[in-house]
Structure 1
Amino acid sequence: MDIRDDEFRKWSASWTHLNPDHRYELLTDHAAKSYVSESYRHRSDIVSTFERDRILHADFLRYLAILADGGVYADIDTECTRPVRTWIPSEFVQSVGCVIGIEYNASAGPLEDFKGNLSLCQWTFMARPWHPVMQQVVDSVTHMLQQQTSADQRITAGLGADIGELTGPAVRVARGSILFKTNP
């Protein structure tokens, strides 16, 4: 990705400008490791899985942060165009605990880079702390990453693995489908 610093500043400023009452935080690699160790000290499986492979940190961290603290996650190259408080109509604010957008729906026609009929947006989403959808996503990702662990305790996802199947939008479609079917 070839993006100049001024573009990152513009995108970051869009979030703080439209949402002045929110805390904006960027987790560095070092801060992320400390954050996960502290927030998930009761889940050694999550901490050890997170620490094993740096390639998958970004996707896994976004789910872990929103599960533990709630709030809004947005990739650093995402611009905020509306205040977060307007994302949910006022009559639903108390009853909605998780908002995940649809990135791709096959009913609009097939796209080459997408598998399946539906892909959920993972570059911006929001949830209340410990929301069941996010809990199932974290549990699912943890389990799938543990299944990819080799005898030397390194996660073996790499050139041959489809990262999107392990930590990307496909995971949330699968987990979300189960929740929607079991908790209408």
Structure 2
Amino acid sequence: MSMSVSRVAGSSLPAQLLHHVTRRRHRFYGAVAVALLLFSVAIWVYGGFDRGVDFITSLPRPPPQSPPQHPHQQPPPAVPPSSSSLAGSSSTHGGHPTQTSPAAKATSSSDWRHSSQSPAANVSHGIPPKIWQILLPKKPTNQKFIPKPEILEETPSWLVMNTDYAYTVVSQDGGDEVVQQYFGDDPRILDAYTKMPNVGMKSDLLRYLILEAEGGVYSDTDTVALKPINDWVPAHLRDKVSVVVGLEFDRRDGPAWADILHDVQFCQWTIAAAPGHPVFRKMVERILSKLDELSAEHGLPIEQLKPSSVEVMNSTGPAAWSEVVFHQLQEFDNTITDYRNLSYMTEPRLIGDILVLTIDGFGMGQPHSNSTDDGSIPEAALVKHLFKGSWRGNDKRSGDAEST
């Protein structure tokens, strides 16, 4: 390097001038190249912002794990991030913000979905991390419906047991939105939901529609969560279960009940399911058919019907639900020929992709059906039903028709 400098220093004046000009020219070209590069980057970034590109979320990331699909389960729709909703308030739960929106503003499909990026979304069975409860007014109203706070006094058990789950309480506006959004192209469903003769039957139909469209766990407001939902399905069955049902009645060797139509009956105060399971479409079709039968039998339009408790049970309630579930189980296992094939169960039984729980699973604390009723909580118990809205014996679907 020193020899080169000495040669330049000892050369003639023209040679020295040529050397300096060459160095400056190289620097100039280098500066121009850098400037062009920066200008190109600036144009790209500006154009991206102008097109609304999010340069953070558009970066490549590993795809989220999807729940396993089963041969009897339709694939769930794509799930953009959503908010839990609870009477239009906002809170923080389990360290994660729970955004809520007023029912009057419930117009976005994202309000009804839960992000697949949620930690809870990676549970190993196909039941999404959503909890649904329903609060409908006794009669449709144009005024904002505000339920009594005490109706939700059991809700904390669901929130504490199931952090990171989306919780939604669906009222009149939200129910209308669900039906319109997912089933608006079926005038039969819209007509039946709008004209349903009482709030209990309307709530029954709505829970089946929500579970068909969204999946998750539906449970009445008078239920207490005893174990986390993630523990409801045994670990060795989690990749095989799409629906979880429990018994509310098991006749066993006892006498028949006048208002219980089957020897074994499934409850519908709590149901867990992956979205799109065929059992819900079959249930909805049965409801539509039964409403037409009742209308023809009584010679009245649907909205003027005054169904008895047995008619309610056999059209939208647990008797109807039990028949649909039973027939679905028969499709999976042709050795099931009678309801009593499901009697005396001592452990959960997987039939097809439906997990049938024992009586204590969802039905502990009852004075029948060999349900544990000694004040203790059995190991098999997942949910306790308090029967605050019991309607049997008074021909009403709900003692407090605001809650279901």
With the length of structure 1 as denominator, give the TM-score of the two structures.
Answer: 0.88
Question: 1:3-152 counterparts in 2 under 5 A?
Answer: 5-6=149-150, 8-55=151-198, 56-107=201-252, 109-110=254-255, 112=257, 113-149=259-295
Letter in 2 for 1:146: D
Q: 1:97 to 1:129 in 2, by over 3 A?
A: same
Whole-Å separation in 1 of the counterparts to 2:152 and 2:284: 30
1:57, distance to aligned residue in structure 2 (A):
0.7
Q: Equivalent pairs: percent with the same residue?
A: 25
- Alpha carbons of structure 1 residues 118 and 156: separation in structure 2 relative to 1, 3 Å: farther
Provide the residue aligned with 2:103 in structure 1.
Answer: none
1:163 to 309, 312, 326: 312
* AA partner of residue 223 (structure 2): T
Q: Which moved more, 1:26-35 or 1:60-69?
A: 26-35
Q: 1:162 offset after TM fit, Å?
A: 1.6
CA distance in 2: counterparts of 1:156 and 1:84, whole angstroms? 40
Q: Cα distance 1:54–1:60, how it changes in 2: closer, same or farther (>3 A)?
A: same
Deviation at 1:52?
A: 0.9
**AA paired with 2:225?**
C
- Find the counterpart in structure 2 of residue 177 from structure 1: 326
Contact persistence 1:50–1:60 (CA under 8 A) = yes
Deviations 1:60-87 (A, max 9, x none): 1111111110000000111111000100
C-alpha spacing 1:159/1:47, structure 2 compared with 1 (3 Å): closer
**Matches of 1:152 and 1:117, distance apart in 2:** 32
Give the conservation status (yes or no) of the 8 Å contact 1:164–1:171.
yes
Partner of 2:302: 154
Pick the structure with greater CA Rg: 2
Q: What value does the CA root-mean-square deviation take over the aligned residues?
A: 2.1
Per mean C-alpha deviation after superposition, the further-off stretch among 78-87 and 47-56 is 47-56
Which stretches in structure 2 are left out of the alignment for 5+ residues?
1-147, 334-404
Query: Does the C-alpha gap of structure 1 residues 154 and 88 become closer, same or farther in structure 2, counting only changes over 3 Å?
Result: same
Deviation of 1:149 (Å): 3.5
Instruction: Determine if contact 2:217/2:273 at 8 Å carries over to the other structure.
Output: yes
Q: Name the CA distance, whole Å, in 2 between partners of 1:31 and 1:54.
A: 19
TM-score of the two chains, using structure 2 as the length reference: 0.42
Q: Which has the higher contact order (CA 8 A, sep 6+)?
A: 1
Distance 2:174 2:293 in 1: 26
Distance 1:110 1:25 in 2: 40
Q: CA deviation at 1:122?
A: 0.7
Q: How far apart in 2 are the matches of 1:92 and 1:83? A: 16
Superposition deviation, residue 114 in structure 1: 2.0
- Number of matched pairs: 180
Amino acid at match of 1:174: E
> Per the alignment, do residues 22 and 114 of structure 1 end up closer, same or farther by CA in structure 2, a change over 3 Å counting?
same
Gaps of at least 5 residues in structure 1 are: none
Contact 1:149–1:155 (CA<8 Å) still a contact in 2?
Answer: no
In the alignment, is the contact (CA less than 8 A) between 1:72 and 1:125 conserved in 2? yes
Give the superposition deviation at 1:47: 1.3
Alpha-carbon distance between aligned partners in 1 of 2:208 and 2:249, rounded to the nearest angstrom: 20
